[in-house]
Amino acid sequence: MGRKKGNGPERRDRKRRDVGEERRGPAAFDRFYSELLGDRWNTLRPCLRDSGRPVALEAGLLRPYYLDDASVTAAQALGVQGGDTVLDMCAAPGGKTLVLATAAGPGGTVVANERSAARRARLIRVLDEHLPPDIRERVTVTGHDARRWGLHERERYDRVLLDAPCSSEAHVLGSQQHLDRWSPARTRQLAVQAHAMLAAAVDAVKPEGYVLYSTCAVSPLENDGVIERLLKRRSGVVAVCRAQAPWGEPTVHGWEIMPDRAEGRGPIFFALLRRAPFVKASHS
């Protein structure tokens, strides 16, 4: 009896390709976020295309730097004070670093880290063009892997900012190429990476110091989900401090500013953590 047409490896390969196509691209993107956010996705999605409300950072700078109002608010939530030692773990393009450096003043120090050479070059230009010399000389730029920071510097900084690489759905929606390549694996992988970076940030901060975790992601997996995982794995080492802003709304562990409810500001999520006194953080 002849073999039935369409069976065998070719059919299985075609089926796998069809399933793969269903799990990536614009339709999969909308389906995924509709399942995560429900009806709100219908109002949030169009706002993401035109999100961001730039304001001019001017105080203490040589020239204005334009940054989304929500990003300024997130950086200020770390509460940097004059004389603090500060680590900005993923600093490029540099807007939040300017907020931290001017707050720390001539008496403080800032380490601005960016692993990507191209983005690090842009970061250096932003710092050189905007910071007065007496503050710029107190800002050091490095190019380390943020996930491994706690292995070589532990309990050194008063305050740490982790503005983690994230899904940046607003950017995805603005790029057909990125939208066509999108799949749910993206947000899950980025959440795993962000947790590793956040654990390193906790290792790097001093006892009773503060860590601010932020993203421009909409996906809860990369926001509250990362904080939830850290709290489980570092129980007793860190605690959530309730941060808030003039715009936006609270989440389970932090605060989010989304453009559909904040007059175009955002998207930004941030959560403020405090390291417990005299507790040694274990690796995870």
In a domain, 3, yes or no: no
Number of structural domains (the chain) is 1
Name the pLDDT band for 16 (thresholds 50, 70, 90). Answer: very low
pLDDT at 268 over 60: yes
In a domain, 4, yes or no: no
In a domain, 143, yes or no: yes
Hey, which residues are catalytic here?
216
Where b means 16+ CB within 10 Å and e means fewer, 53-80 reads bebebeeebeeebebbbbbbbbbbbbeb
pLDDT digits (tens, 9 = 90+) for 153-170: 999 999 999 999 999 999
Name the pLDDT band for 4 (thresholds 50, 70, 90). Answer: very low
Q: What is the mean pLDDT of residues 1-11?
A: 50
pLDDT at 280: 53
Which CATH number covers residue 51? Answer: 3.40.50.150
Q: Which residues contact 118 (CB under 8 A, 6 or more apart)?
A: none
pLDDT at 10: 54
Which residue range is the domain that position 50 belongs to? 9-275
In a domain, 1, yes or no: no
